[in-house]
Structure 1
Amino acid sequence: MVNYLLMITAELENLTDLQPQGGCDDPNFNYFFKLKCGNCGEVTQKETWVMLNETVPLPKGKGTTNLVQKCKLCGREGTVTMIKGQGHPLTQTHGQTEKYAPLMLFDCRGYEPVDFVFREGWKAESIAGTKFDGIDLSGNEYAEYDEKGECPVMISNLRATFNVAK
């Protein structure tokens, strides 16, 4: 069993607290990424997605997991289980210092998550207090104007990495 912590960073202009729409433990937020087989090293061609509120029974034993998938090359089965309570919003300070914020912890057995894909379903708050919901980051950037704060807001230079967590 290896735990992987999804870490994100971005340049936030006049914004703070970038996170999934319902918070870091949003049960309906889809996490999209590719998987690398721990047996043969094959990387899935299409992104796989998991969300907290969708579970399936474990193939062996008792309990549930968020994903059970077989490698298309070697046929080996692996699982991905999400562990909530580890994520924090990306703040403006993180972006200014190029530090990463933890978003979600994944318990992976037989697979390694790679290549996280930003999509829709994000939220942030301007430094003037305006809330921006339903942000689509599939284009790897976001720009809008905060009328209350009378300033442009922008998310750019999005990056994500999976770190092994102990």
Structure 2
Amino acid sequence: MVKISLQINATLEQVEELYTNHPHYAFLLKLKCLSCGECPDVWHDVIESKTYPSKTGKSDTHYSAKCKLCGRENSLSIIEGTNEKYTNDDQGRFKSIVTFDCRGIEPVEFTPTDGWIAKIEESGRLFEDINLAEKEWVEYDERIGQSVGIYDFQSQFIKIK
């Protein structure tokens, strides 16, 4: 079992908090088999609210599949309680927003999709179902009379001990 955290970094304009619509957000991941090194060019969605029976029968998992190259059964689960918010104070550095329990596979790439939520600093307004596929988002908040946005969205994975 290997624990791997997804970290993000972004520039926030008038945004106090950025987070996913947990537990229904679909983390879109490319996965690598640790047994044979196979890393197909396929995106897999991992959603905490959806579980599947584990092939070993020990516990449910959020993603399970057999490697098409070596045949190994691999699984990945979101560790409960690890979903975090990226805040205005976190700008300029990477912060872990979710941690995965990986068994036989590891995520190697993440692409953000729709389902993000931004809380605006001055007005407290929530912009929901934001799509960050283009790695940026810009909107206008009528309450404060200013543009708000998310820019330079980046992500990385780190192993947790």
TM band (smaller chain) = over 0.9
Deviation at 1:150, TM superposition (A): 1.4
Q: Is the 1:130–1:149 contact (alpha carbons within 8 Å) kept by the matching residues of 2?
A: no
**Corresponding residue of 2:107:** 113
Percent of pairs identical after alignment?
A: 36
Within the candidate set 146, 153, 157, 1:151 is matched to 146
Give how far 1:27 is off.
2.1
User: Counterparts of 2:101 and 2:54 in 1: how far apart (Å)?
Assistant: 13
Q: Give every structure 1 segment of 4 or more consecutive aligned residues whose post-TM-superposition deviation is greater than 2 Å.
A: none
State which of 125, 128, 150 in structure 2 corresponds to 1:130: 125
Cα drift, residue 37 of structure 1: 0.8
Q: Give the corresponding residue for 2:14.
A: 14
Q: Is the CA contact 1:127–1:149 (under 8 Å) kept in the aligned structure 2?
A: no
- TM-score, normalised via structure 1 length: 0.91
User: How many angstroms apart in 2 are the aligned matches of 1:124 and 1:101?
Assistant: 16
1:63 paired with 2:55, answer no
1:134-162 alpha-carbon deviations (Å, 9 max, x no partner): 11111111001111111111111111111
Deviations 1:48-69 (A, max 9, x none): 1111121111111332111111
Unaligned stretches of 5+ residues in structure 1: none
Structure 1 residue identity aligned to 2:135: N
> Size of the alignment, in residue pairs?
160
- 2:65 is the alignment partner of 1:75: no
TM-score by length of 2: 0.94
- Distance apart, 1:101 and its partner CA: 2.1
CA-atom RMSD in angstroms: 1.2
2 CA distance for matches of 1:48 and 1:75? 18
The match for 1:92 among 88, 95, 98 is 88
C-alpha deviation, 1:87, in angstroms: 2.5
